[in-house]
Structure 1
Amino acid sequence: MSSEPPVDPSDVRAAQVEHVRIEEEMEQSYIDYAMSVIAGRALPDVRDGLKPVHRRILYAMHEMGLTAGSGHRKSSSIVGETMGDFHPHGDAAIYDTLVGMAQEFSMRYPLVDGQGNFGSMDGDPAAAPRYTEARMAPIAEELLADIERDTVDFSPNYDDRLEEPDVLPAAYPNLLVNGSTGIAVGMSTKVPPHNLGEVIDATVELIENPDATVADLMRHVKGPDFPTGANIVGRNAVRKAYETGRGRVRVRAEFETEEFDGDRQRIVVTELPYQENKARLVERIAEDVNEGVIEGISDLRDESDRDGVRVVVELKRGANVEVVKNQLVEHHLETTFGVINLALVDGQPRVLSLKETLEEYVEHRKDVVTRRTEHELGEAEDRAHILEGRLKALDNVEDVVETIRKSEDRDEARAALRETFDFSEAQAQHIVRMQLGSLTSLESAEIEEEYEEVTARIERLEEILASESELMSVIKTELGEIKEEYDDDRRTGFVEDTGTVTHEDLIPEEESVVVVSEDDYIKRMPAAEFRAQNRGGKGIIGADLKEGDRVSSVFLASTHDYLLCFTTHGQVYQLKTYQVPEMGRTARGKSAVNVLDLDEGEEITAVVNCDDIGAGTDGEDVAGGDGVGADGADPADPAAEAGEQYLTMVTRDGYVKRTAGEEFENILSTGIRAIRLEDGDELADVEVTHGDHDLVVGTRGGMAIRFDESEVRAMGRSARGVRGIELTGDDTVAGLAAIDGTQHDWVLTVTANGYGKRTDLDEYRTQSRNGKGLIDIKTNERNGPSCAVEAVSSGDHLFAMSAGGQIMRTRVEDVSTIGRNTMGVKVMDLDPDDLVASVDVLPAARVEDGDESGA
């Protein structure tokens, strides 16, 4: 007996335990999982352009005999065979893949020929697999051609019962032809589809000229060719994608303009960007029309049928069709296809250029054709060997027959033939099995003819294997045959990329009058509709307000202007003038919530043109990236102030504040704070200054104070400001005028009852801020309170709008020049109980020809 002590089982188990750091184990396990997803599910192989599930479905159909010439079979049967034999990942995923391969709007060249409901461009799902039928499309058979000839490697399936191909022979570059989309772990692929003929031509070009550049190949491959057609915008993005494997290609719908019902127009969309859901597209357009984002559309409907897409957008009578087109393109009819040409190369994911993709395919095809040729050569040599034996037997037919007759059985006959006539085992076996009828002279001639053919075939196969040029010639010939059989016309066109087409490019540039009411209705009208009148006129209707509503503000701007709109609550919003709906003089306007996100009770009190702010910064406006005061000078430094741009604000309670224009960049759609207001205070007016202006603050009580703007130091947006004028009683600020002595000639004051005057600048002596100021205009019962103070020059035009909706336009020179502390003259003839609500000045430089004549 052994004297060794018994082994403790716990020691054995402990010896089998391997100690590892948990972070290392998790890292390795996650990497293994990620690579499994990358290689086994999500990414296509560069050689055949297929993911495993696509490859397995096609191979299963091949094994089931579901070729293009066979009858259709239930999709559920195909799904079951694929799942049971090759792809154990659930029937839903397999069927979704099968459906995608049958959809003409998803695949440029569908690989499955389906019968039944396989979904639609509206996002409708396919019918259940028990209701649909399928078989392989003819072009899919080209992917599997020669698979029985040892052209590709096979591996055991998931349960080791069967074998499945690692890749298909792929007689054409399917990765580029049909594209691929997939999301793996930490990476994704998005290869666009292309035109078969173009891809084959580029492949042939690469075979003939291995040094060809991407530019050379692009002479054949113009760009992606989507199954839904549409247009690619520009070619630079396509070139980048082909050179680097990554790019962003803009795809725009195909549409045209038609006339109907006399003078009306409609936009008809006939092709949509790839992978666009048509029904959802129509819904989104309708939502934007209802919300006022897109103006001018009267009707929208989908008239699509089996013959193609037809989405009809009918325009209102008089609508600008170019504007509506541009809005539709900007928001709905143009998408971006992000190209990521990522595929598996030797089992590893790689981002490939166009040339690298085709090079990998050519290498695969060389391997396939070489292996097929070797396989065919082996078969031909075996056949030639048998035919040589038959010919030898025919030359010695009597002796061969006699030898067989003398043998006891077939085994003895084979041995005798081998010994007597030096036949091989294969030859002897074949001769023993020959029928007597094959010994006729006619059969002999046929054997000799076949032997010559097989011999010539062997010579050709050996020639192909011995010469790479011959091998490449075979590949080119076969690619040409594929092109001849399946090539079709390109569907996706190209349109010139003219850059970002803005609304300004499509809307005529003209001066506009923008009217805002207390109930938040807004509209714009061409300023040319209001011809200059002599002072004291009633003006003409500018807005048909609903009962109880009144005009709160009116301002002038070009349709191309970018504006900063300041409100009584101290907020500032950015607005493009063309975003304000254009309407007739008698229209009420549209709700301002579609244009500006104003709070309850918030009203626009001042408007600043961004071009005015950018005047000292080489033309850069506030909305641009460089901002105002881009030279980096400190706005708080008096020596640096000249040439800087500021927004100078005044509140109803008399506080004045200057803030550098650069602080008003990147304004949110909900606005940003412009000034901090005390309880009960409101922002009254805003002017653009440059550090060397004089400020005139006018009050409703008819007082005015003039002081140098340098007395108000520059502050941030959240500051309240400093006292600009000392108010008495219940007086409040009416407005602010920024005076540039080299440009302005007078101070114009207008009162609520429609009276006003011009006064020379010299009459307003400069004093320190926070004083009571001087009497500017009498505010008695006739005049009413002062409502506006403006710095004006010769040639300027005055626009005054009453609360009731009348607009009066007159030349500034028509208003009499008189001193301070006077009554003024009638500027606008108002109806009883009507008041001047808002005043703005159109500078002389912006007065158009033809506006000078009085009415």
Structure 2
Amino acid sequence: MAKQQDQVDKIRENLDNSTVKSISLANELERSFMEYAMSVIVARALPDARDGLKPVHRRVLYGAYIGGMHHDRPFKKSARIVGDVMSKFHPHGDMAIYDTMSRMAQDFSLRYLLIDGHGNFGSIDGDRPAAQRYTEARLSKLAAELLKDIDKDTVDFIANYDGEEKEPTVLPAAFPNLLANGSSGIAVGMSTSIPSHNLSELIAGLIMLIDNPQCTFQELLTVIKGPDFPTGANIIYTKGIESYFETGKGNVVIRSKVEIEQLQTRSALVVTEIPYMVNKTTLIEKIVELVKAEEISGIADIRDESSREGIRLVIEVKRDTVPEVLLNQLFKSTRLQVRFPVNMLALVKGAPVLLNMKQALEVYLDHQIDVLVRKTKFVLNKQQERYHILSGLLIAALNIDEVVAIIKKSANNQEAINTLNTKFKLDEIQAKAVLDMRLRSLSVLEVNKLQTEQKELKDSIEFCKKVLADQKLQLKIIKEELQKINDQFGDERRSEILYDISEEIDDESLIKVENVVITMSTNGYLKRIGVDAYNLQHRGGVGVKGLTTYVDDSISQLLVCSTHSDLLFFTDKGKVYRIRAHQIPYGFRTNKGIPAVNLIKIEKDERICSLLSVNNYDDGYFFFCTKNGIVKRTSLNEFINILSNGKRAISFDDNDTLYSVIKTHGNDEIFIGSTNGFVVRFHENQLRVLSRTARGVFGISLNKGEFVNGLSTSSNGSLLLSVGQNGIGKLTSIDKYRLTKRNAKGVKTLRVTDRTGPVVTTTTVFGNEDLLMISSAGKIVRTSLQELSEQGKNTSGVKLIRLKDNERLERVTIFKEELEDKEMQLEDVGSKQITQ
């Protein structure tokens, strides 16, 4: 330490004391840091609120402008533009200039391109542009609007770094570039992050502000919907958008645009648009990393099929995975969904200011007024100068003989000027213009042209004076110019704003509410299919395959419900399990489906006998019926808290099993059918409401070897449909069946013969429904009940479906189409289980 002090003292002795000043180190550090900070803020990191450009961007555009690289001229090497800008205006590294220019040529970086690039200027995968000696560039057509009228004293110029050139402090900016293209930058102690917006919407907002200077940010939101990013994607409308419109700070949630496609064997998530500033390659690597770490399951394959036509990232989904659930996991764990922070900080009069949307538009509008006023003054001065000269020329033309004589007699130009001034009161400027006239300008035709020009100039001068004196006229002109920009460069939004979706991600937030067909096989394979998978056929049709099954397996259950419905699985053991409909993976008509044991914790010896959907638990009942005719009624609200691990739904004897469960409304008449063709009809209020775990009472009297094979209600129709195992069926009015008390034997409804086979189902219908019949081979035939005529009791019926040898009818389902609200409903009316 002492040695260092000696060195300092020695240096001081050798210094000239007259030039050495003692200052505080703290003060010097503060001053130097502030100078550095202001230099970064003003000259590097923050854009000017008027033209939306940082100095380097402005210099690149102006350098290309004075270099003649206009949009209607041939491309020039990028190296030439970079060299000109670096030598004249921006004495920094050439790569900084080239990177800036390249970004203005990237359609995935800028919403509205300012540089028209030719060659490889990088990609959304993070590839860098080719070397500047290979690429070519010029100003885009829209960039010309930023520089429009810059030669008419519309903006201030300052000396460049060496004083040999002049550069503009701001561009005229005929469109609001700050908001159209946005900006981002990190300064000292502050940063800016401004999203891009749609040009047409911005112009509409400016026009609204001109017409109503007192408009609120809520009113601006009606025309400027929110950000509009270069890469498109979806924007989830949140309070963050309103916040930055009001305060200049907020957050924007950007979600990739993803479609669910059905491939040959499985579903796939196809990403067609990704959030702004997301690197596609990095995104893919992150997904692969999560799969390897087993943080995300359900992805079978991922590949990038992107091309010149656009992004196409295909994520194949495993068969046992619900695509919507996987998509939500990807939104949570990857940059398929991002949050864009908004901090609208920009330079206003050389100082950083946080601007809200209205203030940003006002600053731009004030700039346009200033540009218009300066341009008008410039034009006015030029026109007044020309008008003054024309006045002198016309005086000379009207006195041409005298003027010629004066010029001939004058010894030199100055003598001629003086004489013209004395004779005709022409000042020196006018006199010089007269001397410079060509003889051909003295013809009558040319004189007439001068007079016409003078008149036009007079009108134009008067108009310029009106513009300068009338701010309303100024705003009118600005509106017209903005409308021209909109007509020429306005376009549709790329980013769609979603107003009815929460930014919080849950398993159902992205699952479309739609009607789907849920199918289940005897061995418990579940599948979700679109309602349009089945085609209407005439009675007796052979049908199409509805579900491919394994050997000794066939269709057991089929219903239509909403993707957001609860599905309740009732088993023959009297238990109930619950899942959401969308949890069943979407499949194809010919797929085998997914085992139910993958979704619910069913025991090995349990068989699902009824599958019902519920949307509202507040009203209604579940009506239970066992194989031996035991019935029970329980309120729906006792089943709200059922989970996938199941709970007891009904109790019964060991030699009995649950046959079916239906929903009732409290005032229904119950119809129970038997395998021997008998039907009992009684009112449901004969049964008191019992608890979920309670036992029931007898509903139908059965003979030995006879079992229940049908359960329905009067709410489902005024006709009774009876169908035999061999595809024979008939319709009979329910009025032909007397109302009895429960536990009666009932009335004969179908004459059971070898032709009919045992009764598969008996159910009530209206007669205008469609009938879906499922065979043991997994075929499904859909036909209209209107093709089936009404018959009496105890008849054998007609052929409903053509069955092949060893093929039998196993299940019948009624399909109702409500034309008014276009909603689809299916009533599950039968059970596959037939006991002889």
- Is TM-score (shorter-chain normalized) higher than 0.5? yes
Residue 257 and residue 224 in structure 1: after superposition, are their counterparts in 2 closer, same or farther (change >3 A)? same
Summarize deviations over 1:278-336 as a string: whole Å, max 9, x none: 11111211222232222222111111111111111111223211111211222221111
Give 1:236 shift.
Answer: 2.0
Residue 409 and residue 249 in structure 1: after superposition, are their counterparts in 2 closer, same or farther (change >3 A)? same
Alignment partner of 2:409 out of 402, 406, 423: 406
Counterparts of 1:161 and 1:479, CA distance in 2:
35
Q: Which amino acid aligns with 2:407?
A: I
Equivalent residues, number: 528
The reply on whether 1:289 has 2:285 as its aligned counterpart is: no
Counterparts of 2:394 and 2:43, CA distance in 1:
53
Give percent identity, aligned residues only. Answer: 45
Contact preservation (8 Å) 1:507, 1:559? no
Alignment partner of 2:505 out of 501, 504, 511: 501
The reply on whether 1:168 has 2:171 as its aligned counterpart is: yes
Partner of 1:566: none
The reply on whether 1:416 has 2:419 as its aligned counterpart is: yes
Partner of 1:181: 184
Alignment partner of 1:56 out of 59, 74, 77: 59
Q: Which amino acid aligns with 1:217?
A: L
Residue 10 and residue 402 in structure 1: after superposition, are their counterparts in 2 closer, same or farther (change >3 A)? farther
Contact preservation (8 Å) 2:569, 2:578? no
SS in 1 for 2:120: coil
Give 1:527 shift.
Answer: 12
SS in 2 for 1:448: helix
Counterparts of 2:44 and 2:162, CA distance in 1:
18
SS in 2 for 1:138: coil
Write the mapping of 1:130-149 to structure 2, written as runs, cut at 5 A.
Answer: 130-149=133-152
Q: Which amino acid aligns with 1:196?
A: L
Give 1:13 shift.
Answer: 3.8
Counterparts of 2:166 and 2:143, CA distance in 1:
20
Counterparts of 2:296 and 2:447, CA distance in 1:
85
Give 1:109 shift.
Answer: 0.4
Summarize deviations over 1:168-217 as a string: whole Å, max 9, x none: 01111110001001111111111001111111111111112111111111
Residue 308 and residue 499 in structure 1: after superposition, are their counterparts in 2 closer, same or farther (change >3 A)? closer
Summarize deviations over 1:782-839 as a string: whole Å, max 9, x none: xxxxxxxxxxxx979xxxxxxxxxxxxxxxxxxxxxxxxxxxxxxxxxxxxxxxxxxx
Q: Which amino acid aligns with 2:305?
A: E
Partner of 1:252: 255
The reply on whether 1:346 has 2:349 as its aligned counterpart is: yes
Alignment partner of 1:75 out of 78, 84, 89: 78
SS in 1 for 2:104: helix
Give 1:265 shift.
Answer: 1.4
Q: What stretches of structure 1 of length at least 5 have no aligned partner?
A: 1-8, 509-525, 535-555, 561-581, 588-793, 797-855
Residue 413 and residue 352 in structure 1: after superposition, are their counterparts in 2 closer, same or farther (change >3 A)? same
Write the mapping of 1:615-694 to structure 2, written as runs, cut at 5 A.
Answer: none
Summarize deviations over 1:323-379 as a string: whole Å, max 9, x none: 112112222211110011010011111110000101111111111110100000000
Partner of 1:309: 311
Contact preservation (8 Å) 1:504, 1:559? no
Partner of 1:243: 246
Partner of 1:155: 158
Superposed structure 1 runs of 4+ greater than 4 Å apart: 9-12, 504-508, 526-534, 556-560, 582-587
Give 1:69 shift.
Answer: 0.8
Q: What stretches of structure 2 of length at least 5 have no aligned partner?
A: 1-11, 513-566, 581-592, 599-691, 695-836
Residue 473 and residue 148 in structure 1: after superposition, are their counterparts in 2 closer, same or farther (change >3 A)? same
Counterparts of 2:579 and 2:37, CA distance in 1:
55
Counterparts of 2:148 and 2:504, CA distance in 1:
48
Write the mapping of 1:591-602 to structure 2, written as runs, cut at 5 A.
Answer: none
Summarize deviations over 1:5-44 as a string: whole Å, max 9, x none: xxxx989943443322211110111011001000000000
SS in 2 for 1:309: coil
Counterparts of 2:79 and 2:491, CA distance in 1:
32
Q: Which amino acid aligns with 1:18?
A: K
Q: Which amino acid aligns with 2:375?
A: R
Q: What is the TM-score of this pair, normalised by structure 1?
A: 0.59
Partner of 2:282: 280
Give 1:557 shift.
Answer: 12
RMSD: 3.1
Residue 499 and residue 481 in structure 1: after superposition, are their counterparts in 2 closer, same or farther (change >3 A)? closer
Summarize deviations over 1:725-780 as a string: whole Å, max 9, x none: xxxxxxxxxxxxxxxxxxxxxxxxxxxxxxxxxxxxxxxxxxxxxxxxxxxxxxxx
Q: Which amino acid aligns with 2:341?
A: G
Residue 10 and residue 395 in structure 1: after superposition, are their counterparts in 2 closer, same or farther (change >3 A)? farther
Counterparts of 2:17 and 2:577, CA distance in 1:
85
Partner of 1:22: 25
SS in 1 for 2:347: strand
Residue 94 and residue 383 in structure 1: after superposition, are their counterparts in 2 closer, same or farther (change >3 A)? same
Write the mapping of 1:700-739 to structure 2, written as runs, cut at 5 A.
Answer: none
Alignment partner of 1:299 out of 301, 324, 327: 301
Contact preservation (8 Å) 2:125, 2:280? yes
Counterparts of 1:18 and 1:465, CA distance in 2:
54
Residue 527 and residue 239 in structure 1: after superposition, are their counterparts in 2 closer, same or farther (change >3 A)? closer
Summarize deviations over 1:70-129 as a string: whole Å, max 9, x none: 111111111111111100111111000000000011000010000000000111110000
Q: Which amino acid aligns with 2:505?
A: V
Contact preservation (8 Å) 1:381, 1:458? yes
Counterparts of 1:325 and 1:128, CA distance in 2:
39
Counterparts of 1:344 and 1:109, CA distance in 2:
21
Write the mapping of 1:507-656 to structure 2, written as runs, cut at 5 A.
Answer: none
Contact preservation (8 Å) 1:253, 1:272? yes
Contact preservation (8 Å) 1:203, 1:358? yes
Write the mapping of 1:813-852 to structure 2, written as runs, cut at 5 A.
Answer: none
Write the mapping of 1:215-226 to structure 2, written as runs, cut at 5 A.
Answer: 215-226=218-229
Contact preservation (8 Å) 2:568, 2:579? no
Q: Which amino acid aligns with 2:190?
A: M
Partner of 2:194: 191
The reply on whether 1:456 has 2:441 as its aligned counterpart is: no
SS in 2 for 1:257: strand
Summarize deviations over 1:662-706 as a string: whole Å, max 9, x none: xxxxxxxxxxxxxxxxxxxxxxxxxxxxxxxxxxxxxxxxxxxxx
Q: What is the TM-score of this pair, normalised by structure 2?
A: 0.60
Counterparts of 2:425 and 2:97, CA distance in 1:
57
SS in 2 for 1:102: coil
Counterparts of 2:68 and 2:86, CA distance in 1:
17
Counterparts of 1:95 and 1:395, CA distance in 2:
60
Q: Which amino acid aligns with 2:96?
A: A
Partner of 1:210: 213
SS in 1 for 2:164: coil
Counterparts of 2:104 and 2:471, CA distance in 1:
35
Counterparts of 2:474 and 2:381, CA distance in 1:
17
SS in 1 for 2:142: helix
Counterparts of 2:100 and 2:209, CA distance in 1:
32
Counterparts of 2:509 and 2:141, CA distance in 1:
49
Contact preservation (8 Å) 2:238, 2:503? no
Residue 464 and residue 327 in structure 1: after superposition, are their counterparts in 2 closer, same or farther (change >3 A)? same
Q: Which amino acid aligns with 1:503?
A: D
Contact preservation (8 Å) 2:78, 2:135? yes
SS in 1 for 2:505: coil
Summarize deviations over 1:635-667 as a string: whole Å, max 9, x none: xxxxxxxxxxxxxxxxxxxxxxxxxxxxxxxxx
Give 1:163 shift.
Answer: 0.9
